[in-house]
Amino acid sequence: MPVRVATDIRDNDWIALRREFIPELGKKEHAEFLRDFSAALFMFQGFIALDKRSRAVGFAEASVRTEPVNGCRPGRVTFLEGIYVRPEFRQRGYASSLCLEVERWGAKHGCREFASDVFEYDADSIAAHKALGFAESERTVFFRKPVRPEFCLATSGSK
């Protein structure tokens, strides 16, 4: 299945697919996110899956991460930042084609591992990642606790 590289973060197909994936954000917010994300990462690339009539039906976003990635050896790691295929095109190999191109891209940039993450409660994404050949490497539970107000320094006038 054909996959093209999104050469511009303002790519209309990419933005339209992102809006389906995260509908609560508008076109402007998606464009700003892609701009900021691509500027913040070492390497970032979008990929667009095409159907038989060359219509965009899915996308993947990937980066090359140089900082440690949970469950991976030190060094450059291809990271699947996001993937989406329109519902009517799922279970047809589009996600596999996208991941294959992402993996090739990462290998060309010195990566020997391909990683991703999902929320622990997202059973559909976990199943999809396993179907794409990913193996679970770790689970993390985050905790938080507010600092007691009496321990906090006053913000006005004192040091």
Q: Which domain holds residue 141?
A: 3-151
Q: Is residue 85 one of the residues assigned to a domain?
A: yes
Q: Is residue 42 one of the residues assigned to a domain?
A: yes
pLDDT in tens, the chain (159 residues): 899 999 888 889 999 999 999 999 888 898 888 888 888 877 999 999 999 999 999 999 999 999 889 889 999 999 999 999 999 999 999 999 999 999 999 999 999 999 999 988 999 999 999 999 999 998 887 889 889 998 888 655 544
Name the β-bridge partners of 84: 59
Q: Is residue 159 one of the residues assigned to a domain?
A: no
CA atoms of 143 and 111, how far apart (whole Å): 32
Give this prediction's pTM. Answer: 0.84
| Domain of residue 111, CATH code | 3.40.630.30
Q: Which residue type sits at 58?
A: G
DSSP state of 63: E
Number of domains, the chain: 1
CA atoms of 116 and 90, how far apart (whole Å): 19
